[in-house]
Chain A
Amino acid sequence: MNRAPLIFLGVFCALAFSFVGLVLTNQLTYGAFTTHVDEDEGKVFPLQTPGIAAQGKLVYQDLGCVSCHTQQARREGFGSDIGEHSRGWGERQSVARDYLRESRVLLGSQRIGPDLRNLAVRKNPDNVAFTADWLYRYLFNPKLVVKDSSMARYAFLFETRKIIGEPSPKALKLPEIYAPEEGYELVPTARGEALVAYLLSLKDTYAYPETKNVYTPPPASEEGETKKGHE
């Protein structure tokens, strides 16, 4: 190992090998993956995110929500994301095609907070569907709606303004101590509205061909244990 050019060549080949094998191969094969045209429904899945939700995704990005929240439901039997006796974080596991229209995929690597991939079709801690109003109050002060929440307040996504004419339908219904003074109301800013619209657009419910007839393992005898042949 005393020849510098040989070391360089070897290092080059090793990296080229993994670059071709992992990056290029995936880009050339499933990087060309297409959307699914459902002729019965006359729609192309995954659906395009509506404009305000797309703006909301930028708010999600700039606030760094991905630091605490993942956006992927793992398959049944791997953790307890979906299926029976699970946290119910989705109707089915997330597949590659769900992310096809996203210019930035935010899978995330930490669950300091719960997964958000299917927020729009999940039940909130009060066991009813998430609504914009619930999410506004949660973002304004999480402890208002979930006593044990460990999320920080995102009060800067809201502003207090004078009521002119009719009160805004988006105004937050707050308990006495947090309520703004008479004649004023607390409403979400444009960013707050966009963020909530984005959160309420999060759902992977469409059944693609690849998500049907997926082998689901028999329930494991113990939590977290996976048996042979689950792959």
Chain B
Amino acid sequence: MATDSSLSPGLTPEYSTPQAAEASVIDASLRAPLIALTASAVVWLLIASMLGIISSWQLHTPAFFDGCEYVTFGRIQPAQTNAFIFGWGFNAAFAVGLWIMARLSRGALPACGVLLLGTVFWNVGVTAGVSGIILGFSTSIEWLEMPGFVSPLLLIAYALISAWSLVVFRAGRSKQIYASQWYLFAALFWFPWIYSVAEVMLVLSPVRGTVQSVVHAWFAGNLFLLWFGSIGLAAIYYFLPKLLSKPVSNYYLASLSFWWLVIFGSWAGVARLIGGPVPAWVQTVGAAASFMLLVPIVILGMNHYGTLSGRWSALKDSITLRFVACGIVALTLMLLAWVADAIHGIAAITQFTYAVPAQVQLGFYGFFSMVMFGSLYYIVPRILGTEWASAPLAGVHFGASAIGVALLVGSLAIGGYNQGFLMSDATVSFADVTKATLPYLLAASTALVLLAIGQLAFAINFFWTLSRASAPAVCSVKGLLAAELEAAR
């Protein structure tokens, strides 16, 4: 790898040694599992957006479906969150993470049977979990509502899927480890730990009193900031330099922000307990750790905006870049909102209002999902060996998503602050507080419909592309796998 070391370290290593033949072998080896993961992700995305519209509609029109126990807000809303996080989020993260890891490590997938089995297990687990919530077996613990019996299945499935990222890393020929891979390593390792701790200490053998709330805040903060955050950042660090054909600006600082985020981010989750019945030091530590996030905000900004600066015109040509750029902006705003919410005076107003879901949506939707969409627009044609079936549908998807996210987050945030101000004024009756939020909730529902239209366009485009490409692809995948194994020997 003598040639590698002479190149700028900020350039995606794979780009620096363009070996088209190798890349196509890697892509072919990943074809079947990536199609399975992406297809499940897209189906879950549609389910989640449908549930999201129902639950959002119930907020301003309480009579909507209120005769049926299974469609009440208290069940649909957690079902939506779980379908979104574990159905769409994880499937998409597995697909994009594995592909980036394989490309950067320059290693092909030796076999895909176990990985496909893991995908089936995962989706069976999520299906059982989401149905369990709707049928009334919810644990009522935010983001862990799925009944306890699905957690072993999800953990096994996770192991079966994520182990292959390590396999392709070990099999790979690249001697460098790039920023995207740090984040992927961290994320891979992170989820089983936080998830098993949370399931054991909250669901299977609950700890006493509000220690549960601390464990839960720790889990939720880590899942949000360090699992979804890491996967999204891995994709940003991969696609920005690759699509702009230039190294990441100030790349030497990237490792600092990585360690800073890993060390302080893992403490920041408990900031949400400010004012709650938990020890004061826990709240203070959470707030302090949240302030520490200012450092990665600055460094990530220097890396991302620095790389983009002067090249904004490139956004016109690449749909992936447009999605990723939106994700970068959303990430900055989400982290700034996180820091702001750790300030006492602000927390006293925003706590328990729609400003909280606004921030969560900004993270899951504006940042994570937008980056995943962008990544999939790049990855899918490469693994299928074809172009996207329809460019206009992709344009509709981008437009609807960008406007939808802005409208959703904007209306919930402004509505939430308004709600918080009115709520802290005890002379305003609770019913009046609720009434004041109605226009914002209507705007949020409109935004969700817009987002659903975009997602539908994405799903149609994906399955259309798949059906066009599937006939030759299925035949050739075995041949390519055999060829790749020969090459490996």
Chain A contacts to B: CB under 8 angstroms:
1-4, 7-8, 10-12, 14-15, 17-19, 21-23, 26-27, 29-33, 60-68, 70, 72, 74-75, 78-80, 85-88, 93-100, 102-114, 125, 142, 146-156, 223-226, 230-231
Q: Are B211 and A70 interface neighbours, CB within 8 A?
A: no
DSSP majority for the A interface?
A: loop
Q: Point out the residue from A2, A93, A105 that lies within 8 Å of B212, measured CB to CB.
A: A105
Give the residues in chain B near A88, CB-CB below 8 Å. 426
Q: Are B193 and A19 interface neighbours, CB within 8 A?
A: yes
Question: How far is A226 from B351 in the complex, measured between Cα atoms in Å?
Answer: 15
Question: How far is A156 from B67 in the complex, measured between Cα atoms in Å?
Answer: 7
Q: Point out the residue from B175, B262, B429 that lies within 8 Å of A14, measured CB to CB.
A: B262
Question: How far is A74 from B424 in the complex, measured between Cα atoms in Å?
Answer: 12
Chain B contacts to A: CB under 8 angstroms:
58-60, 62-63, 66-69, 72-75, 77-78, 133, 136-142, 145, 169, 175-177, 182, 185-186, 189-190, 193-194, 197, 201-202, 206-215, 218, 222, 255, 259, 262-263, 266-267, 270, 272, 275-280, 282, 284-285, 344-345, 348-349, 351-353, 356-357, 420-421, 423-427, 429-432, 434-435
Give the residues in chain A near B186, CB-CB below 8 Å. 7, 11
- 6 new A-B contacts, CB < 8 A, other than A14-B266, A26-B279, are A12-B189, A15-B190, A18-B218, A30-B211, A65-B140, A106-B140
Q: Point out the residue from B75, B141, B222, B424 that lies within 8 Å of A224, measured CB to CB.
A: B424
Q: Are A104 and B212 interface neighbours, CB within 8 A?
A: yes
Give the residues in chain B near A33, CB-CB below 8 Å. 208-209
Give the residues in chain B near A105, CB-CB below 8 Å. 209-210, 212-213
Give the residues in chain A near B75, CB-CB below 8 Å. 63-64
Question: How far is A28 from B66 in the complex, measured between Cα atoms in Å?
Answer: 44
CB distance from B435 to the nearest CB of A (A): 7
Q: Are A150 and B434 interface neighbours, CB within 8 A?
A: yes
Given contacts A79-B348, A152-B72, whether A85 and B426 have CB atoms under 8 Å apart is yes
Q: Are B267 and A21 interface neighbours, CB within 8 A?
A: yes
Question: How far is A113 from B430 in the complex, measured between Cα atoms in Å?
Answer: 8
By beta carbon, the residue of chain A nearest B346 is A224
Question: How far is A122 from B255 in the complex, measured between Cα atoms in Å?
Answer: 54
Q: Point out the residue from A60, A98, A102, A109 that lies within 8 Å of B356, measured CB to CB.
A: A109
Q: Point out the residue from B136, B266, B275, B435 that lies within 8 Å of A75, measured CB to CB.
A: B275
Q: Point out the residue from A11, A109, A142 that lies within 8 Å of B272, measured CB to CB.
A: A109
Give the residues in chain B near A63, CB-CB below 8 Å. 69, 72, 74-75, 136
Give the residues in chain B near A96, CB-CB below 8 Å. 209-210, 277-279
Q: Are A95 and B277 interface neighbours, CB within 8 A?
A: yes
Question: How far is A80 from B169 in the complex, measured between Cα atoms in Å?
Answer: 54
Question: How far is A75 from B267 in the complex, measured between Cα atoms in Å?
Answer: 24
Question: How far is A74 from B207 in the complex, measured between Cα atoms in Å?
Answer: 22
Q: Point out the residue from A87, A97, A149 that lies within 8 Å of B431, measured CB to CB.
A: A149
Question: How far is A74 from B426 in the complex, measured between Cα atoms in Å?
Answer: 14
Q: Are A23 and B74 interface neighbours, CB within 8 A?
A: no
Q: Point out the residue from B59, B211, B277 that lies within 8 Å of A94, measured CB to CB.
A: B277
Question: How far is A106 from B139 in the complex, measured between Cα atoms in Å?
Answer: 10
CB distance from A30 to the nearest CB of B (A): 6
Q: Are A15 and B259 interface neighbours, CB within 8 A?
A: no
Given contacts A14-B262, A80-B423, whether A3 and B63 have CB atoms under 8 Å apart is no
6 contacts across the A-B interface (CB closer than 8 A): A26-B215, A87-B430, A103-B206, A109-B352, A150-B62, A224-B421
Q: Are A62 and B277 interface neighbours, CB within 8 A?
A: no
Give the residues in chain B near A68, CB-CB below 8 Å. 73-74
By beta carbon, the residue of chain B nearest A147 is B431
Q: Are B209 and A100 interface neighbours, CB within 8 A?
A: yes
CB distance from A228 to the nearest CB of B (A): 10
Given contacts A7-B182, A111-B353, whether A148 and B435 have CB atoms under 8 Å apart is yes
Give the residues in chain B near A109, CB-CB below 8 Å. 142, 272, 352, 356
CB distance from A156 to the nearest CB of B (A): 5
Q: Are A104 and B141 interface neighbours, CB within 8 A?
A: yes
Q: Are B208 and A61 interface neighbours, CB within 8 A?
A: no
Q: Are A151 and B62 interface neighbours, CB within 8 A?
A: yes
Residue of A7, A8, A29 with most partner-chain B CB within 10 A: A7
